[in-house]
């Protein structure tokens, strides 16, 4: 058992990163794929598929916010637990886990109440029309009931990967994905439940994943476990976790705000065609970033554990191996997008006009994608070493300080106003990456010196 507890501090970094990142990347991709399959099923409902799909699309910003709250707790709590493991303080790790579970219960109940009474207004705010609102409401009424399953599944799974059990974490996602894919056609078409069937399939699959996660964290295999005595919330434990998780929460929850800003500007300057292209562009960007996020999540327990163990050499090596792997991936993908934009656009649409228009602006929108291979490793390493202030600043910087103002500013500076809106993305990326590099390397050098001094 001792070897199992200390392998994050003893095994070769490259081998560990490969071992932990591959299952995490697969889990990220599978999670995205089964969400898309969900939309495909709904889109093929006879007679009402198009309206039903649009109704589900209106629900997506709310779903993003719900999942962001799970990340709010988990992305702060899991690294803190890994750091405690590195210090051989397993009681502290279990206190963090117990407190995070209680907090997720409180958040789930609060979200259920809020969405119950404000769901209709929120759906209208996010673009539901009189034609699509009934479908959106039908989906949300059932989805809300499974909020607890969503919060616990996503939130607690991070504590499994934080222990180095990336394959088990991947299994959590696979269980939910496979169950959802099987149940979708049964409920949607077999029982003629339509969008309600899709929502029911989603919460049942999340419920099954939730049971799997809880059973594992109660099992002998788990290094730190769920214990009733640690479920009582303590501010001294919860607040640092929330502070560290705030950057991830901002990154995820702000996606709905960013899409609103993009779509409103593009509708004004380019019409429905530009808005349709934005849907494809954001989907391509989302797919592009998934492996980078998976790599970063795979490196997190390695970096956090060795930071807690005061092993500066392994913390440094973990970061640079993550940086090299991320930059290699982003460079290859960037080259492919620049060389074959039409192929990427055609994956999401067969409409010739939309496909050609999207391909023509894909090079602009993804112009600085290569820099994400630097931005994400730096930002996520701040989270891994518990630097909440820096991680929050960098998350707010890119989206709120840079991207949103640029969406509205650039159309007044460039001749083609619609193209100017798309250009906001690479400009924000370049400015954010430059700032991130300066902040990171100044802070990281300081952290390494402190670790060596305290070792």
Predicted confidence (pLDDT) per residue in 78-121, tens digit: 989 988 988 889 999 999 999 999 999 999 999 999 999 998 89
Q: Which two tokens stand for residue 120?
A: 């209709």
Whether residue 277 is found in the same domain as residue 390: yes
Q: Could you tell me the two tokens for 28?
A: 């990220």
Count of domains observed in the chain: 2
Angle at 282 between CA 62 and CA 378, to 5 degrees: 90
Name the band, by pLDDT with cuts 50, 70 and 90, for residue 35.
low
Structure tokens at 421: 């809106």
Asked whether residue 211 is assigned to any structural domain, the reply reads yes
**pLDDT the model gives residue 246:** 83
Q: What is the mean pLDDT of residues 256-271?
A: 81
One domain, residues 186 and 284 = no
**100: in domain:** yes
Q: By the 8 A CB rule, do 426 and 281 touch?
A: no
Res 455: pLDDT? 60
Report in angstroms the alpha-carbon separations of 302 from 20, 166, 192, 269, 435.
9, 12, 48, 47, 25
Co-location of 294 and 430 in the same domain: yes
C-alpha count within 13 angstroms, C-beta hemisphere, residue 208: 16
How many angstroms separate the CA atoms of 266 and 423, rounded? 12
Examine residue 6 and state whether it is found in any structural domain, yes or no.
no
Q: How far apart, in whole angstroms, are the C-alpha atoms of residue 226 and residue 440? A: 35
Residues 171 and 279 placed together within one structural domain of the fold: no
Same domain flag for 229 and 258: no
Share of the chain above pLDDT 70, in %: 95
Among 233, 266, 301, the domain-final residue is: 233
pLDDT at residue 5 is higher than 70:
no
Residue with the bigger pLDDT between 98 and 24: it is 98
Q: Which residue has the higher pLDDT, 1 or 353?
A: 353
pLDDT in tens, 272-323: 778 777 877 877 887 788 888 888 888 888 898 888 888 888 989 999 999 9
- Cα 361 from Cα 169, distance rounded (Å): 37
- 428 shares a domain with 319: yes
pLDDT in tens, 364-402: 999 999 999 999 999 889 888 888 788 778 878 888 899
pLDDT band at 432 (very low <50, low <70, confident <90, very high): very high
- Of 233, 264, 289, the position where a domain reaches its end is 233
- Within-domain flag for 394: yes
For residue 404, give every residue at least 6 positions away whose Cβ sits within 8 Å of its Cβ, in sequence order, or none.
Answer: 257, 258, 261
How many other CB atoms are found less than 10 A from the CB of residue 422?
Answer: 25
Give all strands (DSSP E) within 243-308, no chain letters: none
The answer on 160 and 109 residing in a single domain is yes
Tokens representing 250 are 């901002």
Q: How far apart are CA 93 and CA 82, in angstroms?
A: 7
The pLDDT of residue 43 is 67
| Best CA proximity match to 201, nearest among 146, 135, 136, 134 | 146
| Rounded Cα distance, 381 and 304, in Å | 9
Claim to verify: residue 192 and residue 285 sit in the same structural domain? no
CA distances from 225 to 42, 156, 222 (A): 39, 11, 6
* Structural domain contains residue 182: yes
pLDDT band of 327, cuts 50, 70, 90: very high
Quote the percentage of the chain above a pLDDT of 90: 38
Mark whether 186 and 286 lie in a shared domain. Answer: no
Rounded Cα distance between 273 and 448, Å, is 50
For residue 34, what pLDDT is reported?
66
In a domain, 286, yes or no: yes
**How far apart are the C-alpha atoms of 133 and 361, rounded to whole Å?**
32
50 lies in some domain: yes
Please indicate, yes or no, whether residues 199 and 259 belong to a single structural domain of this protein.
no
Range of the domain at 115: 11-233
Residue 3 is predicted with a pLDDT of: 54
| Same domain membership, residue 377 and residue 441 | yes
How far from chain centre, in Å, is Cα 192?
32
- Do residues 18 and 152 both lie within one domain? yes
Residue 247 forms part of a structural domain: no
**How far, in Å, CA of 47 to CA of 199, rounded?**
19
Residue ending a domain, among 204, 233, 262, is 233
């Amino acid at each position: 058992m001792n070897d199992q507890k200390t392998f994050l501090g003893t095994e070769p970094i490259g081998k560990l990163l490969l071992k932990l990142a591959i299952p995490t990347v697969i889990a990220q991709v599978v999670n995205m794929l089964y969400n898309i399959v969900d939309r495909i099923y709904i889109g093929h409902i006879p007679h009402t598929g198009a309206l039903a799909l649009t109704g589900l699309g209106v629900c997506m910003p709310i779903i993003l916010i719900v999942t962001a709250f799970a990340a709010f707790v988990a992305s702060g709590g899991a690294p803190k637990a890994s750091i405690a493991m590195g210090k051989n303080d397993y009681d502290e790790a279990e206190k963090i886990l117990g407190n995070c579970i209680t907090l997720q219960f409180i958040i789930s109940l609060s979200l259920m109440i809020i969405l119950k009474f404000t769901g209709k207004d929120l759906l209208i705010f996010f673009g539901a029309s009189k034609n699509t609102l009934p479908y959106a409401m039908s989906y949300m009424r059932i989805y809300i009931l499974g909020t607890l399953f969503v919060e616990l599944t996503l939130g607690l799974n991070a504590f499994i990967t934080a222990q180095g059990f990336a394959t088990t974490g991947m299994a959590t996602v696979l269980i939910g994905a496979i169950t959802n894919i099987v149940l979708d056609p049964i409920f949607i078409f077999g029982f003629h439940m339509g969008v309600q069937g899709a929502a029911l399939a989603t919460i049942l699959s999340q419920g099954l994943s939730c049971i799997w996660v809880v059973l594992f964290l109660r099992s002998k295999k788990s290094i730190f476990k769920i214990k009733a005595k640690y479920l009582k919330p303590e501010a001294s434990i919860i607040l640092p976790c929330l502070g560290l998780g705030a950057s991830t929460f901002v990154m995820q929850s702000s996606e709905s705000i960013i899409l609103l800003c993009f779509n409103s500007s593009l509708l004004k300057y380019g019409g429905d065609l530009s808005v349709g292209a934005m849907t494809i562009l954001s989907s391509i960007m989302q797919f592009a970033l998934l492996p980078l996020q998976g790599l970063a999540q795979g490196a997190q327990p390695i970096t956090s554990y060795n930071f807690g163990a005061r092993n500066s050499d392994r913390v440094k090596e973990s970061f640079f191996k993550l940086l090299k792997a991320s930059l290699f991936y982003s460079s290859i993908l960037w080259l492919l997008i620049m060389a074959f934009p039409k192929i990427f656009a055609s994956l999401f649409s067969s409409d010739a006009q939309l496909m050609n228009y999207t391909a023509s602006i894909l090079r602009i929108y993804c112009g600085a994608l290569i820099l994400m291979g630097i931005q994400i490793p730096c930002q996520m390493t701040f989270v891994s070493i518990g630097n909440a202030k820096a991680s929050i600043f960098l998350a707010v910087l890119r989206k709120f300080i840079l991207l949103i103002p640029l969406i509205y500013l650039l159309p007044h500076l460039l001749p083609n106003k619609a193209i100017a809106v798309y250009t906001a993305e690479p400009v924000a990326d370049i400015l954010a990456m430059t700032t991130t590099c300066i902040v990171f390397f100044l802070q990281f050098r300081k952290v390494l010196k402190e670790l060596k001094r305290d070792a």
